[in-house]
Amino acid sequence: MHASDRHTWLTPVLAYLAAALILAFLSHSLPRMLPGDFVTAMYGASDVTLTPQQAADLRALYQDDSGFMAFLGRVFCLDWGYSYAFLAPVSALFFDALPWTLVLMGTAHVLSSILGFVLGVEAAWRRGTRTEKAGVGLMTVLEGIPELCSGVLLLLVFALNLGWFPAAGAQTAYADYTFLQQAADRLHHLALPLTTLVLAYFPGNFLLARAGMVMVMKSPFVLTARAKGLPPIRVRYAHAARNALLPLVTRFGLRFAFMITGALVVETLFSYPGLGTLLFNAIAMRDLPLIQGIVLAASIMVLGINLALEFVYILLDPRVAHAS
């Protein structure tokens, strides 16, 4: 029993560690496979002619060839290089943008998970009614609309035509606000990108929770709970829904690729000053150190979140811990 316990948590930890190493190695070696270097890429096509001394100095500033292990060490020390488009250290830019992304993505996830789960459970409970059928239909259609499209539509209607919400940014610049006013201003800016993301994540959660709940409701233990005379809300949530939660958590990891891509697009669309917009600007200016830094740091964060989810899954489902 003890050995199998270790097996359950050791496998994902090793897999994620290997994935992190592969990612780090790729982001170390891919730029080095380019012909030329950062300096050639930046000044090769420009009107500026560098003296050999200047070129050598720039090379020393932007790159070093001390090998993969030294690179890993610098990744840990948050020394991710120097952005030549923003003229600032990559890690400073990254940590400036990170809070905005966390607020946007975090709120979107919490809202869409709770909404999707509760509505999905309730829909499964009312299976076959007209409202439920309409709800499932609506969610299936919404699931088919990518963030790029719903975002453009929301931007058109609510920001440009009606003018209810700001079209860009995360707060009014240089405004002299009290704390409460500032919070309201930030929420006002958050509304449209948040709605776009919730519209993108919530239907998937709803459909999954509903499907899981429909399966669980057929099990004998739900019948037992009802026969015991427990109040319906307790049967629904304490008995049935807890088991319907499992597919939601497993699918989360698989849907993550969609979610990151969607968040990049939504931030860019609404010029929200998070990692997505930073990455977009870095791409537009071909700022290779910045792209490299954001991609590596964001990937490692994603790996960490997914790994944490594996443990949440083991906690939620005791069967996994005791399997095999």
Partner 1 sequence: MHLDAGQKIRTDPWFLTGAALLGLLFCLAVFGPVLMPWDPYDTSFIPLDPPSARHWLGINDGGMDIFAELLSGLRHTLIFGLTAASAGLVLGSVTGLFAAWQGGWVDQILMRLADIVLAIPSVMILILLAAFFQPPPWVLALTLAALTWPTTARGIRAQALTLKHGLHIQAARHMGGSSRYIIFRHLMPELFPLYLINFAAKLRMAVFMEASLAFLGLFDPSLKSLGLMISFALKYYYMDIWAHWLMPPVLLLSFLIMGTTFVTISLERVFDPRLKSAL
CA atoms lying within 13 Å on the CB side of residue 292: 24
Q: Say which DSSP state 64 is in.
A: -
CB 116 within 8 A of CB 202: yes
CA atoms lying within 13 Å on the CB side of residue 28: 18
Residues 8-27 that bind partner 1 (CB under 8 A): 11-12, 14-16, 18-19, 22-23, 26-27
Cβ proximity to partner 1, 121 vs 282, nearer residue: 282
Position 256 contacts partner 1 (CB under 8 A): yes
Cβ proximity to partner 1, 50 vs 247, nearer residue: 247
81's tokens: 């290089």
Cβ proximity to partner 1, 34 vs 184, nearer residue: 34
Cβ proximity to partner 1, 118 vs 152, nearer residue: 152
Cβ proximity to partner 1, 15 vs 230, nearer residue: 15
- Total residues interacting with partner 1, rule: CB under 8 A: 62
Fill in the amino acid letter for 120.
G
Contact pattern for partner 1 over residues 109 through 148, marking x by CB under 8 A = -------------------------------xx-xxxxxx
Q: Which of 64, 71, 65 minimizes the C-alpha distance to 21?
A: 71
Out of 43, 158, 237, 280, the residue judged to bind partner 1 by CB under 8 A: 280
Q: Which of 237, 200, 190 minimizes the C-alpha distance to 113?
A: 200
Cβ proximity to partner 1, 230 vs 295, nearer residue: 295
For the chain, the straight-line distance linking the first and the last C-alpha, in angstroms and rounded, comes to 9
Position 72 contacts partner 1 (CB under 8 A): no
Q: Round the CA-based radius of gyration of the chain to a whole number and report it.
A: 24
Q: How many residues does the chain have?
A: 324
Q: How many CB atoms lie within 10 A of CB 138?
A: 12
Out of 75, 192, 209, 298, the residue judged to bind partner 1 by CB under 8 A: 298
Q: What CA–CA distance (Å, rounded) separates 313 from 16? A: 16
Position 152 contacts partner 1 (CB under 8 A): yes
Q: What CA–CA distance (Å, rounded) separates 139 from 205? A: 10
Position 242 contacts partner 1 (CB under 8 A): no
- List C-alpha distances in Å: 182 to 103, 166, 174, 201, 229: 15, 14, 11, 28, 51
Out of 63, 186, 306, 320, the residue judged to bind partner 1 by CB under 8 A: 306
Query: Contact residues for partner 1 (CB under 8 A)?
Result: 11-12, 14-16, 18-19, 22-23, 26-27, 30-31, 33-34, 140-141, 143-149, 152-153, 155-156, 160, 207, 211, 215, 247, 250-251, 253-258, 260-262, 264-265, 268-269, 279-280, 283-284, 286, 288, 291-292, 295, 298-299, 302-303, 306
